[in-house]
Amino acid sequence: MAVYIGLLRGINVSGQKLIKMEELRSLLAELPFRQVRTYIQSGNIVFEAEQKETELLERMLENKIAEAYPFQVPVVVRTAPELAAVAEACPFSEAAATDGSGKAQHKLYVAFLSERPDDRQTALLQSYSSDADQFKVAGREVYILCRNGYGKSLFSNNFLESKLKVTATTRNWATVTKLIGMSSASS
């Protein structure tokens, strides 16, 4: 069994696409997964499965959710080693995401993409870098440093999707590190 992390896009935001995590865990128990756990209400799932193709796992999760709810939810899946590699490859220091006293300010984010974006789309995105929002596209992730906070950032999921032409779901650095901890505890 391998450990996977499923990242649901756009649930429980502003009263839209409401899914309770307890209901989600029960629903996913019907799939050939083990040790299904969730973290906070934004749709983070850690689970074990024998399946090796993350694209198939994404479709399984999306289809199961669509069977139970009247809406579609895109899902991005990473393996535990892939998620650990995301943290190791971060181009920004954790100090850059603090207020100077070391207190986290939720300024560092990772957008997880459904696939690697086209080089032309990535090059186009470069024109949107600013003093407020610095970012780096690295494979299937976009590291985003939002100096004024994510709520004021241009780099929302919708913006990234429109520019890169792929599905994106974003997590703050604290969530990324928590999911790494949860996934490594399973392995």
- Given a cut of 90, whether residue 19 has pLDDT beyond it is no
Q: How far apart are CA 137 and CA 124, in angstroms?
A: 12
The three-class DSSP label of residue 49 is strand
**pTM score:** 0.92
pLDDT tens digit sequence for 123-137: 999 989 888 889 999
Q: How many CB atoms lie within 10 A of CB 75?
A: 24
Which distant-in-sequence residues (6+ apart) come within 8 Å of 14 by Cβ? Answer: none
Helix axes 54-68, 21-28, angle to 10 degrees: 120
> Quick check: 72 and 66 in contact, CB under 8 A?
yes
| SS3 per residue for 67-133 | HHCCCCCCEEEEEHHHHHHHHHCCCCCHHHHECCCCCECCCEEEEEECCCCCHHHHHHHHHHCCCCE
Higher-pLDDT residue of 15 and 187 is: 15
Mean pLDDT of 27-35: 94
pLDDT tens digit sequence for 150-165: 889 999 999 999 999 9
Q: Domains, the chain, ranges and CATH?
A: 2-83 (3.30.70.1280), 85-173 (3.30.70)
